[in-house]
Structure 1
Amino acid sequence: MFKIAGHTMGTPEYTVCEAIELMKKIGADGIEIVVQDDYRSGIPCDCDQETLEKVKECAEKMGIRIVALTPYNSYFNSLDEEKRQEEMAAIRKGVDYCEFLGASYVRIYGGNLSAGDTYKLEERWDMLVRSLREMGDYAKEKNVTLVVENHFNTMAVSAKKSAELMKAVDHPAVAILYDQANLTFTENEDYQTAIATQQKYVAYMHVKDLVFVEGKSFVSSNVARPNEDERNVKTRIVGEGVVPWPEILSKVKEQGYDGWLSLEYERRWHPDDIPDASIGMKKSLEYLKSIME
């Protein structure tokens, strides 16, 4: 049976400990925590031991599993060696946090590749493969898996590219984070094709929902999120948009997946689209549970 986590992207009004308490209240099994400076519902990139201990104690008290950490580094394909090493050092630090907190996954971007960028693609691909192997070696020592998200403006923008990347990396501690909503609004694979193409490499899943804005095509100027004037979709409570979650969950279960579903409730980026997590994430979780039942 799938386990459900809430993502602190969805809880910008809450501290991490308050978000953990909310997960307990709404019936989640776990939590995915942002790693980024100056975000109320995240832990800082250079997190001190006292903060880590407080978060761990809160999770243990609430009976909530800290499942994954989500940093925002992306230049693993950089040809600037100093920059590449700096980005990998940040991920290794995140892996150390995972080891202490008992988390199993670190969310990874598949490099940084703006739309239309064709500069030395082969060399940057090779550098990304090299980086993922090097970071994977460190993660494996700590019993942590790096999960590369299907994500725009990266070298893992589609299920096809993500699967190709996994074949090239070929590392036991590097896997795919399946995000069908991202594949949908970037006009990549439908769920049937995505699952057939990449599911054997999937170790973790994000769940969110959306509706399209009529007359707009996908574009984004950065990796983390499209600017407000670029958006071709509006985010929605899961079950109230166009992503066919009953069919997706049935299909991945057929393929043997019974891991975590992380509710990447995007209130941090789009607070006008969806209500507070105590309302919308709760409704999303209840919808997922109704599917599983």
Structure 2
Amino acid sequence: MRLAFSTLGVPGLPISEVVRLAADTGFHGVELRAHPEEPVHPGLSLTKRVEVVEQFKAAGIEILALAGYAKAAAPGDDDDFLRETRGLLELARDLGAPWVRVFPGGGDSGAAEAEATAVRRLSTVAPLAADLGARVLLETHDSHRTGAAAAPILREVDSPWVGSLWDVMHSWLGGEQPEETLRQLAPYLGYVQVKDIASAADTTPLPPGAGVLPLAEVTELLSRAGWDGWLCWEYEKRWYPDVPDLAEALGSVREHLLRLLSAAA
């Protein structure tokens, strides 16, 4: 398995600093938050896109994914989701990123309506994803936080260009055991997002291994299944300002994840 970290929790961090941190700490890739307040977003000019690619290429670091905020199951007009996702997919094509993250976001709809909406929208964007060469991943989050909730949508869409991002915290908070989550998502799995938290009632981020999330069990299950993909550590200082700075945390995070992978091998 290969290791990445996310820039979700560090608003406005320059790409040069992102690349330097990844190279200095031995991470193989980075998940970039694709938002207008960030250096990388769908409104980026072609010149800037080329500059981003060149910086990552020079350091030998991969752009793992673009984390967008389009909501596949949310109520409202399909056009908003399709427009946002198209912009993300075009950006992913230009940057060479294999994946684009979307959320379910169907909490304001009934379960059946939310599922039908997500199936319709994801089925619509699947051919575009195929044309542009980047896969859309539905994160286990909000209204569909477990594998059991997300998998029926992915089965119905039935496209290799639409898959799943397994957020370990959300499936665990949803009461689902890791073995069941992996069973549900294995045919669709893009990559796995990990972190650690104090408790179900207190989701303040902690260093991996210092909290309650079953990270050792997850890595063992993935290894036993022969899965050789990406583990991406989610960093959230943006929402929890008291956690250590990214530069302080990365080295020990990588060491702990490597220990988990070694123990699972």
Query: Same-fold call, TM > 0.5?
Result: yes
Which residue does the alignment assign to 2:239?
269
Which residue does the alignment assign to 2:147?
159
The question of whether the paired residues in 2 share the 8 Å contact of 1:36 and 1:44 is answered with yes
Tell me the secondary structure at the aligned position of residue 258 of structure 2.
helix
Provide Cα deviations, 1:10-39, integer angstroms capped at 9, x if missing partner.
Answer: 433621221111111111001110111123
Point out 4+ residue stretches in structure 1 off by more than 6 angstroms: none
Q: CA deviation at 1:193?
A: 2.3
| Distance in 1 between residues matched to 2:182 and 2:55, nearest whole Å | 36
Tell me the secondary structure at the aligned position of residue 45 of structure 1.
coil
Aligned residues: 262
The question of whether the paired residues in 2 share the 8 Å contact of 1:199 and 1:252 is answered with no
Matches within 5 A, 1:165-244: 165-184=153-172, 186-212=173-199, 216=201, 232-244=202-214
Q: CA deviation at 1:269?
A: 1.6
Q: Does 1:258 align with 2:228?
A: yes
The question of whether the paired residues in 2 share the 8 Å contact of 1:150 and 1:162 is answered with yes
Provide Cα deviations, 1:147-193, integer angstroms capped at 9, x if missing partner.
Answer: 111102x3x22110111111111111011111111222x33202122
Q: Does 1:77 align with 2:88?
A: no
Pick the aligned partner of 1:96 from 86, 90, 101.
90
Which residue does the alignment assign to 2:115?
125
| Distance in 1 between residues matched to 2:41 and 2:187, nearest whole Å | 33
Which residue does the alignment assign to 1:136?
126
- TM score, norm. by length of structure 2: 0.92
| Distance in 2 between residues matched to 1:78 and 1:194, nearest whole Å | 23
Q: Does 1:291 align with 2:257?
A: no
Identity, in percent, stands at: 25
Provide Cα deviations, 1:111-146, integer angstroms capped at 9, x if missing partner.
Answer: x223xx4x4543342221011011111111122111
The question of whether the paired residues in 2 share the 8 Å contact of 1:107 and 1:149 is answered with yes
Query: Cα gap change, 1:66/1:122 in structure 2, threshold over 3 Å: closer, same or farther?
Result: same
- TM score, norm. by length of structure 1: 0.83
Tell me the secondary structure at the aligned position of residue 67 of structure 1.
strand
| Distance in 2 between residues matched to 1:206 and 1:48, nearest whole Å | 29
Query: Cα gap change, 1:187/1:121 in structure 2, threshold over 3 Å: closer, same or farther?
Result: closer
Q: CA deviation at 1:80?
A: 3.5
